[in-house]
Each structure stands twice: as C-alpha cells, then as structure tokens.
Structure 1
Amino acid sequence: MEMVRVVFLTVFMFFVLVTVHEWGHYYFAKRAGILVREFAIGFGPKLFSYKRGETQFTLRLLPFGGYARMAGEDPEMIEIGPGQTIAVRLGQDNKIKNIYLDSLDTRRNVIRGEAEFTDLENELKIRLNVDGEITTYDVNPQAMMIRGSQQTQIAPKDRQFGSKTVGQRAIAILAGPVMNFILAFVLFALHLQMAGIPVENPSYVKIGEVSEGMPAQEAGLKKGDIVVAVDGQTIGGDYKKMITLTSAAKGKEMNWTLKRGEETLSVTMIPRSMEGETGGKVGITPELPTRKAGVGETITKSSKAMVDTTDLIFVGFKQLINKFNMNDISGPVGTFQLTGQIAQQGIQYLTYWAAILSLYLGIFNLLPIPALDGSRLVFLGIEALRGKPVDPAREGMVHFVGFALLFLVMIAVTYNDILRLISG
C-alpha cells in the first residue's frame, strides 16, 4: 500500500507541475483571443481525451511534458482546392457551420457542390457551384471542417497566434514559466508552514528519524522521543553535545535517558562506525523544536528560498557546461526514482522537492534553446526590433530541429537512467 501511495504522489506531482505550466500558456492565449486547439499533458498516444468549448483536453502516454497547441502555429488546416466537390451544412443563421470533405453521399441535410472560391481566414466565405447555380455562403467563425471522424475547427485570421501583437504573443509564451515560478513560491511557503521555523535556544532535542538496523532502532528508540541525558550528562537543547558524546563512545556502551510522553526511559546502546563517517553512530536524526511561521516570515523566507535555489540551479548549469558528463544528467526515469525516494520521507519533503522542480522547469524553459519558450521569445524579440516577423518556415525549422535534438538527448539520458537503475 505504501508503494502505491508513493507512486501516486510522484505521478501527481509531475502532473501538477506540467499542468500549471501549460495552463499559463492556455489561459493567456485565450485571453488574447487565440484559438487553443489542444491542451495536452504528455506526448505520444492518447490515454484520455475530452472536449470542452473549443479545446480538446488530452492526457498522453509519455510523461515528458505537455503543450497548448494554438491555431496558426503549425500548418493544420486542409486546403479546399478550386473545383473540389464538398458538402456544407447551414446553421440557423444561414451561415455554414459544417464543411464535409469526404463520404458526401452519406451526409444528410447538406448542400453539395463544387467549390469555386474558399476563404476561411479573412472573408469567411465559400462560393459553390451547385448544378450550375453559383451561390456565395458566409462561414460561421467556429465552423467545423470534417473528414471522416476528424473534426477541425476553422481558424479565422484574428484567432491565429501570428495575428496577435508581439506583446500578446510574448505574454502567452512567458505565462508558462511564470506560472511555474508562482507555483514554486507557493510550495516553498507551504513547506515552511509545515516544517515551521527552528526555535532559537531550544530547551530539548527531539528524535526525528530512526535508521533501520542501527543501535537506536535495536534499543527501541522512536521518532518523537526527547533526549534528556547521555551517560549522565544533561543534553537540554544542545544536539551538538549529543553528537560529540556519541562519536567519542564508538564501541562502548552508553546509557541514554529519554522522555516519551509522560514516561521516562533508560536504554543502553553501543555506537558503531558507518562507512564514510568518523566516530560512533547510533542512527538517529535530531529534530529541533520549531514554531509556526508568520505571514511576513513566510513571504520573506519563501522569497529567499527562491533566490537561493535559483543560484544553485545556475551553478549546476555552469558546472554542466564546463565539465559535461552524461552521468551528471537525469532524465524522467532518474527524476521519477529520486522523487519516489523523497516521497517516502513524507509530504513535507516532497513539497519542498516539488518547489525546486517547479522553479527549475520555469528557468529551463526560458533558456534560448530551440523548441523551448525562451527560443520563441528570442524570435519575438527579433520581430520587435525588425518590425516584421522572421520567416515562419525558417523559425519552424529551427524549433523542429531543436525539438528533435532535445528528444534524442531525452532518449539518451533515459537509457542512461535505466542502466544506472539496473546496476543499482
């Protein structure tokens, strides 16, 4: 049952991080009037899908990220050529609401004819030749183009990503990373509320964790026990004194006085050495007394955690560039494994780890790497300086190549993660 809980928390954490990021893109794109065709979590084959309004919400197999697919970003519409036979269905406003491209004989309550003129972006009109009679029909801005079971909503020019101002497009792109920054701040604050702030000059030392197979566990010590004295010396709130006495007594029997609730206990333990550690160890982690953080403290300390963690992330980037090593990189498998280990320690630790990952996700996406949000912002910056957009075909090629390279790197690090997992 514990394993199921850990797996659920791990998957849920990644789901939240990606969803918040993509929701930022989705919300501000919708605010700008852009048609968002699909809101997807993951890549690859669909696992679950439903449509709400104009957007298809999809959960996909590969948990490598997600996307909010906006109209006009990719060549998506099926062109209707002059002379092509199609069928249309009118709505109550006498505007075309459905355009059928195949299986025309099976369509009911439609007008069938040869398309002489089609404009689904600007004028929103279709001119049909129906048995020699030519009629021009207005097209509903939300009309559906249907081929087989596939339905695609048309995207008038003013609903496409490229038709919006540089500022509107920049906000829609920037919103994803910004939402991750906001989430990171909230999670740091939530962790602070759960963990509390260490009390200055504490009056006691409480046992936090007890390691398996160590003298403390064998002697029956439990999380929450308060250490009163070690070998007759009162500890009070001086956990360093407890560690010093234990380290010096390696291989020697010690007498510990503990308080558990209202009960006072006396136990004996023999500290022993641990690999890579000096002195004696009994296998406990002290838990210092804490107090609840106030509102002001929560804001200032969460902000400081954001700044400090950002510094560490950039130090990591610098080290990776200066001395690249595949073993220093973890893909989805390695990150899932580490997250699972952290989830086993409790929701408090998982919350802090989720805050770090959310901050990292926001920063990484702002890097000027092709296919990432940062690269798209660079192209918008160039457009703002030039006064005209970069050739969409060239920009699309840059993003395609970047995505392909990122995907190859992802495969490589995932393979490396699996090898490390197998080798232990």
Structure 2
Amino acid sequence: MNTVIAFVLIFGALVFFHELGHLIFAKRAGILCREFAIGFGPKVFSFKKNETVYTIRLLPIGGFVRMAGEDPEVIEVKAGYYVGLLFDDNGHVNKIILNNKDKYPEAKVIEVEHADLEHEMFITGYEQGEETLERFEVSKTSFFVVDGEEIQIAPYDRQFSSKTLGQRTLAIVAGPLMNFLLAFVVLFALGFIQGAPINEPVLGELTPDGSALEAGLKEGDIVKSISGQPVDEWTDVVQIVRENPGKELSFVIDRNGETLKYAVTPEPRKVGEETIGLIGVYSPVEKTMLSSIKFGAVETFQWTKEILLSIGKLITGQFSIDMLSGPVGIYDMTGKIAQTGITNLLNWTALLSINLGIMNLLPIPALDGGRLLFLAIEAVRGKPIDRQKEGIVHFIGFALLMLLMLVVTWNDIQRFFFNG
C-alpha cells in the first residue's frame, strides 16, 4: 500500500506540474484551454472551473492540456445542417444545439446557409417554414451542445494557432521547464532541510558503529592531515580513507583551535570487485539559503547531464531497449526506494522529474519536442505546416509511443514477475 501511495503521489506531482506549465502560459496567451487532464483513458473524476474541465483519468501514463486550435477543431457547422439556437439577453446566440433539439423546445431551429464561428462570429439560415434568410450574431463565449454536453466555441483569437510564434513556443516549452523547476525545488528543499554538502575537510555526522567515533573523532573536527598527507578538501579525506582499508591512519585534527591526533583504522567494505575503506563519517553540510540554492542547481544540472549521456548511449546502441523501464518498472523501483526513507524518495522524485522534462523535449511527434520541431520549421519557412498534416504526424507518433510503452511494460512484467 505504501508503494501505491508513493507512486500515485510522485506520478501525480510530476504530471500535474508539467501540465500546469502548459496551462499557465496558454491561458496567459489567451488560448482557450478546454481540458486539464492527469492520465489518459476513461475519466475517473472531473470538475469544471471557468472555461476548463479538470479531470483525472484511469491510465497513469501522462497527461495533457487540450488547447483550442492546437489540433483541427472537431466540430463544424456546414450548410444544410439543422441546428437549434438559444440566445442571451443581448440577442446573441450563446448555444448552438447540434442534436436532440426536441429537448430544447425554446430553441429556434434553422437550416444553416452559412456559418463563420471563428472570425466574424455569425450564422445565417432559414427558420423552418420560412423563406427569409436570417443572420444571427454569435457570442464569443458561446457553446455547441452535443448529446447534452456543452463544448465552448473557440473564436480564432482564442485558438493556439492564432498566437505569435513566441507565445506558442512558450506554451509548449513551459511543461518540460516546470519539471526542471520542480526538481530544483525538491533538491533545494533537501539541501535546506538536511544540509547541502560542502567540500571542506570537516567531519560531518558520525555513525554510531563507525571506527571514527570509536577512535574519538567528533562531528565538526577539522582534518589537517592524515598519516602525513596534507588535507585541503573533503574529497581528499574520502580518497585517503577509501584507499587504505584495514590500515591504521593517523588523523591530525583541529578541534576548537586545539590540535589533536587520533589513530583510526578504516573498515574494509566490498564494493563490486573493489575493497574500500570506511570510517563511518558523513560529508560535511551547510544549512544556508545560498548553499541550498547552489546544491539544487548543481544537482539538477548533474542529473540532466547524466540522463542526456544515457540517451546518447541508447541512440548509439550502447544501451538496449530491454534496459528501459515503463510504469511497471518505475512503480517497482518507487516501492524499493520508499522503503529506504523520505530523503531517497525525494531524490528519486527529482530524478524522475528531470527525466520527464528531457524526454518531452526530444523531437518526437506527439511529444512537446515534436511540436517545438514543427514551430521551428514554421520559423524557418515563414509559415506554418498544414494543421491536418501535422495532426496526422502527431497521431502516428502517439501510436508508436503507445506501442513502445507496451513493449517496455511487457519487458518490465517479465523482469519483475517471471525472472524474480
């Protein structure tokens, strides 16, 4: 149960902040955002606030913000259609009923002659039994009504494609950037709470069963030299101790201005094929705002670099697809890490957030990077690619991603349930 809770909370946070980035900057640009969703598939929970429906969906494999005009609009009103019209207090159409018109006896039913619901916002047609062509002004905040469900009409100035190249780019890139920001905030908080590691030759917390405590060393001691070797940084202390398992070392330390000497024997510890020495001392930390900010930024950068190197190895064939993990693998790993404590779980959350941000920036159709690629092509060409053609490319890309997800998930299932 703890694994389930940890996975749901982490997954929910990663997707929520990613999609929140899209939502904030899309709304700032004036784009109509019809839905903010966490997950895919059938709706589990939903509510509407202002113009946007917020939903939680069944399959925990991502999320989306449905922006008007990002893909071709799916509802059209063409000549010959019979529609029902409802009006607001100003006499403008505020609802266009496409079916089940008999449920709205107060609606005026017309046969459509022409409709412009993007630019000039009007509809013309003939009322049943009449030969006079009538023109009706349509409100910019009007709705289609389909099977009793209201879908807000998007005038062109509320659509994704109407915005400047910069506004559209920012609305897309804001999602991955929010993942990097989330990782930084998590790592900053860790640095502020537990302290940010510093590279000074000062002893941090001592473990109760370590040889350092047994020899008489204390937290805060400044190491001046070890067995005659001068020490300037914490990494010097680590290197000397690691290289001398089982050998007695002479520590010269400064404790409150007094110089003291202690004999410490590093305990041998097998790590892979190598035997290293340990004395049971954590690295020194500093609990300040500045050090925590630096820690969050440096760790975010380092993890980003490591993930990019791993992607490079995957592309060059040094990693195989069998080494990838999907939702099942992430779920399993989350459970194992959750058992080791909140600190490791938060580090894992930051790593996953950075990974999500990077993967979404890859120039793959259906991902944010794929959409950014089309915007880059538009910037070079000076005009956008046909929306229907772009939509087909993204659909194919999404189908291939789902196929990859199935393969990776099957590998996870075999790895964790059949191979032990």
The 8 Å contact of residues 142 and 154 in structure 1, kept in 2 or not, is answered as: yes
User: Separation in 2 of the partners of 1:226 and 1:275?
Assistant: 17
1:218-256 superposed Cα distances (whole Å, 9 cap, x missing partner): xxxxxx6676765xx5565699799999868xxxxxxxx
How far residue 286 of structure 1 moved from its aligned partner, in angstroms, is 3.6
User: Separation in 2 of the partners of 1:17 and 1:347?
Assistant: 17
The 8 Å contact of residues 125 and 138 in structure 1, kept in 2 or not, is answered as: yes
Percent identity, please: 42
* Alignment of 1:305 onto 2:299: yes
Q: 3-state SS of the aligned residue for 1:73? A: coil
User: Separation in 1 of the partners of 2:416 and 2:348?
Assistant: 21
The 8 Å contact of residues 127 and 134 in structure 1, kept in 2 or not, is answered as: yes
Query: How many correspondences in the alignment?
Result: 380
* Alignment of 1:79 onto 2:79: no
Q: 3-state SS of the aligned residue for 1:385? A: helix
The 8 Å contact of residues 117 and 153 in structure 2, kept in 1 or not, is answered as: yes
* Residues 152, 353 of structure 1: alpha-carbon distance in 2 compared, 3 angstrom cutoff: same
Q: 3-state SS of the aligned residue for 1:79? A: coil
Q: 3-state SS of the aligned residue for 2:338? A: helix
Aligned AA (2:123) = I
User: Which has the higher mean CA deviation after the structures are superposed, 238-247 or 402-411?
Assistant: 238-247
Q: If the length of structure 1 is used for normalisation, what is the TM-score?
A: 0.81
1:103-138 superposed Cα distances (whole Å, 9 cap, x missing partner): 222213221222222111111111231231432111
The 8 Å contact of residues 247 and 280 in structure 1, kept in 2 or not, is answered as: no
Q: Which residue of 1 aligns with 2:160?
A: 161
Q: 3-state SS of the aligned residue for 2:339? A: helix
- 1:320 corresponds, among 314, 317, 323, to 314
Q: 3-state SS of the aligned residue for 2:105? A: coil
Q: If the length of structure 2 is used for normalisation, what is the TM-score?
A: 0.82
User: Separation in 1 of the partners of 2:281 and 2:133?
Assistant: 84
Q: Which residue of 2 aligns with 1:11?
A: 8
Q: 3-state SS of the aligned residue for 1:117? A: strand
Q: Which residue of 1 aligns with 2:230?
A: none
* Residues 29, 228 of structure 1: alpha-carbon distance in 2 compared, 3 angstrom cutoff: closer
User: Which has the higher mean CA deviation after the structures are superposed, 133-142 or 60-69?
Assistant: 133-142
Q: Which residue of 2 aligns with 1:194?
A: 193
Q: How does 1:8-157 map to 2 (within 5 A)?
A: 8-130=5-127, 131-132=129-130, 133-157=132-156
The 8 Å contact of residues 235 and 242 in structure 1, kept in 2 or not, is answered as: no
- In structure 2, the gaps of 5 or more residues are 224-236, 248-266
- 1:393 corresponds, among 378, 382, 388, to 388
Q: 3-state SS of the aligned residue for 1:345? A: coil
Aligned AA (1:356) = L
Q: How does 1:158-237 map to 2 (within 5 A)?
A: 158-198=157-197, 200-202=200-202, 206-207=206-207, 233-234=215-216
- 1:411 corresponds, among 396, 406, 410, to 406
1:23-64 superposed Cα distances (whole Å, 9 cap, x missing partner): 111111111111111111111111111111111111111111
Instruction: Give the root-mean-square deviation of aligned CA atoms.
Output: 2.9
How far residue 197 of structure 1 moved from its aligned partner, in angstroms, is 3.5
* Residues 49, 272 of structure 1: alpha-carbon distance in 2 compared, 3 angstrom cutoff: same
* Residues 243, 123 of structure 1: alpha-carbon distance in 2 compared, 3 angstrom cutoff: closer
User: Separation in 2 of the partners of 1:280 and 1:388?
Assistant: 61
User: Separation in 2 of the partners of 1:226 and 1:273?
Assistant: 12
User: Separation in 1 of the partners of 2:82 and 2:195?
Assistant: 70
Q: Which residue of 1 aligns with 2:260?
A: none
Q: 3-state SS of the aligned residue for 2:99? A: coil
